[in-house]
Amino acid sequence: MAGGRTSFDPTAGEIKRVLAEQNPWHFDGKVPQELAKVRERPLAQGLWRRLLADEPRRFQIVLGPRRVGKTTVMYQTVRALLGQGVPANRLWWLRLDHPILLQSSMEDLVRHILRGTNASSSAPIFLFFDELTYGRDWDLWLKTFYDEHWPVKVAGTSSSVAALRERHVESGVGRWEEQYLAPYLFDEFLDLVDRAPKIEVGNTLAETLLRLAASPVHEAELVPLRVAFSLIGGFPELLLSKDVPLEGDGEDNQARLLRSQRVLRSDAVERAIYKDIPQAFGVNDPLLLERMLYMLAGQFTRLLSPSALSKNLGLSQPTFDRYLSYLERAFIVFALPNYSGNENVTQRRGRKLYFVDGAVRNAALQRGTAPLTSPEEMGLLIENMAASHLFALSQQSQVRVYHWREGSNEVDLLYDDPGGPLAFEIGTSSSHPRQGMRAFLRKHPRFADGAWYIAPGLPSRAPGNDETPWGTLPLELFLLAVGRQAAAYLEQRLM
């Protein structure tokens, strides 16, 4: 009917009702505890400061896998801003995948809010866009809000890196910052259970490892916690669950593993493949994408063979590469290039595949209790855990991570920090082969002072001994050091 409403044209009253439901602090000045948990991740401890100071002026976008706590971090940020005296009516939450808000443009929603406030450049409103990328033309409207100096400060979340698609790059330059929220790292998990030893963090990971190798920290009591953590995955809902104790016997480990796989299969795998990626990238056959993920899960920690995988899937290699990029940008997997010391060569050589969290791999394969009984599989999960921690650190430090392979020689992980380059071989015991590291150091001597063997049960010893020039460190302390270093870089970024 001409001039009449359609089902896609919500009234101002409907929008007002939804916004009232999503902003309970407008009534009593408090964020309900079930929304803003007491425990805060490092990002929550700093994001409110960054928004409040806003120097340099930037909008904030929190990116990361599903179920890692992005929405909780934003609720905790609202709570912190209330605690700093920001009036409740200047803090506005909009969950943009809500059926009513989906039908409205971001311009209409923000104008609706501004009409009811006295916002100004000196007293702006804070807009919290949950599932930001569901908003129509969200990138163009953020650009408009920024360039036209609307009296707003913005934070948003997304479970996929739709924000990094080519058409969004220009909009974001100089206007917003992306804050990566990884699954819990081992040090955060130890904090959660009040078992984290104190360590001294240096300016670089190289410094922190050297300090840790010389410290009296003992890792033996951390081993069962590391095993439990590897089975559960770094997802707050699972780590905070009281259904299965974090320390227990073999039956408890089975229960942890099976519960983790059930939840992550539904939340982290299926929702990403059947909702996030199709919405962000227009994939018409998510079932094929799931088959591809299943095949990748069977080859994690190994060199990718795109031609063989694409043939098995019945895909062209360009389509395979595009689908792999979707899985990477949805924070399910990541691939490390082969190091050569020449950036042009690195991009053309074989990549090594890892999962952002090994528990998601178990869920994708529906492995059941197999990781508990297979030493080989547990070894792969250990390498994946080391790689995923370095990957999370790289998102904060902007230092590239590689692997290295030449002929039969290989080194698992390289952290190419100009201030202290590091090479890591990850093993399951002290008998891990050494020839790969020797060959690598002969070819790339700049890593000589930062070569390490990492495995459960190894002694703590710094590099530099003439007979064995590489250092050794138990896996648990390595994970602790990487996590603490990532937190330190994040704190610096948010200052």
Average pLDDT over residues 381-407: 95
What are 265-295's pLDDT values in tens digits? 888 888 889 888 887 788 888 999 999 999 9
Region 440-465: mean pLDDT is 92
- The confidence score (pLDDT) of residue 243 equals 66
**pLDDT score of 412 more than 90:** yes
More reliable by pLDDT, 134 or 429: 134
Indicate if the pLDDT at residue 203 is higher than 90.
yes
User: What are the chain's domains?
Assistant: 12-181 (3.40.50.300), 187-494 (no CATH)
440-461 mean pLDDT: 94
Asked if the model's pLDDT at residue 437 lies above 80, the reply is yes
Tens digit of each residue's pLDDT (9 = 90 or more) over 343-366: 665 455 689 999 999 989 888 888
Residue 158's pLDDT is what?
86
Q: What is the mean pLDDT of residues 238-250?
A: 70
Mean predicted lDDT score pLDDT of the chain: 88
Report the pLDDT value the prediction gives residue 466, as an integer from 0 to 100: 61
Cα separation, 93 vs 98, in Å, equals: 12
Q: Is 4 exposed, middle or buried (0-12, 13-18, 19+ CB in 10 A)?
A: exposed
Lowest mean pLDDT among 71-75, 83-87, 169-173, 226-230: 169-173
* pLDDT(6) > 50: no
Within 10 angstroms of residue 132's Cβ, the number of other Cβ atoms is 28
pLDDT of residue 161: 59
Q: What is the pLDDT of residues 13-57, one digit of tens each?
A: 899 999 999 999 999 999 999 999 888 999 999 999 999 999 999
Pair of tokens at residue 309: 């995988």
- Please answer whether residues 135 and 306 qualify as being in contact, where contact means their C-beta atoms are separated by less than 8 angstroms: no
Q: What average pLDDT does this structure show over 188-211?
A: 94
pLDDT for 372 equals 74
Q: Using 50, 70 and 90 to split pLDDT, how confident is the model at 241? A: confident
Question: Is 465 a residue whose pLDDT tops 80?
Answer: no
Contacts with 69 (C-beta within 8 Å, 6 or more apart), sequence order: 41, 181, 236
Contact 376, 383 (CB under 8 A): no
Considering the entire predicted model, what is its pTM? 0.91
Which is more confident, 251 or 39? 39
Compute the CA torsion angle 445, 450, 453, 454 (nearest 10 deg). Answer: -150
How far, in Å, CA of 316 to CA of 284, rounded? Answer: 16
Residues 356/183, Cβ–Cβ less than 8 Å: yes
Bond preceding residue 418 cis, omega within 30 of 0: no
Least confident of 211-220, 248-257, 445-454, 460-469: 248-257
pLDDT for the residue 196: 92
Instruction: DSSP letter for 29, please.
Output: S
Among the residue ranges 118-122, 297-301, 341-345, the one predicted with the least confidence is 341-345
